[in-house]
Amino acid sequence: MNDKRFKIAHREALIGIVLVIINFAIWFGFAYGLGSGDPKEYTYIFGFPAWFFYSCIAGTLFMILLIYVVIKFFFKDVPFDEEEDGEHK
């Protein structure tokens, strides 16, 4: 029936989708925003072209940090087994 755990699960699944959208936006925005010009005129950060640094390196590190924070503060522990929740059918 309307298992309480499902409300949590639904919310967390939505968070997953939002995270992918953010991830895509960072990845796409920096890559094609900074990388579309003439490669000979790129600026470099730590030896990497700026688009690559922000999109693939900084963007990835940011996502990992974001995922860590989201898990720590928004994800709830729920029991998976039937006998522990006492509320079925």
Partner 1 sequence: MHWHVIIPLVIFLVIIFVIGFWANKHVMQSNSFLQEYFLGGREMGGFLLAMTMMATYGSASSFIGGPGVAYNTGLGWVLLSMAQLPAGYYVLMVLGKKFAIIARKYKAITLIDFLRERYQSNVVVIVSAFSIIIFLFSSMAAQWIGGARLIESLTGLHYSTALFIFAVVVLVYVIIGGFRAVALTDAVQGSVMLIGSIILLIGTIIAGGGITNIMSDLVAENPKLVSPFGADGSLTPLYVSTFWILIGIGVIGLPQIAVRAMAYKNSKSMHSAIIIGTIAIGTVMFGMHLTGVLAHPVLPGIKIGDKVMPLLTLKVLPPFLAGIVLAAPMAAIMSTVNALLMLVSSTIVKDIYLNFIKPKASDSEIKKISFLVTALIGIAVIFVALKPPTLLVWLNLFSFGGLESVFVWPVIFGLYWRKGNKYGAITSMIVGLSSYILINQWWPNVFGMHTVTLPIVFSLISYVVISLLTHHKFKEFKHII
Site residues for partner 1 per CB under 8 A: 1, 3, 5-6, 8-10, 12-13, 15-17, 19-20, 23-24, 27-28, 31-32, 35-36, 38-40, 42, 44, 46-49, 51-52, 55-57, 59-60, 63-64, 67-68, 71, 75-82, 88-89
DSSP letter for each residue of 49-75: EHHHIIIIIIHHHHHHHHHHHHHHHH-
Q: Report, in Å, the least distance between residue 34 CB and partner 1.
A: 9
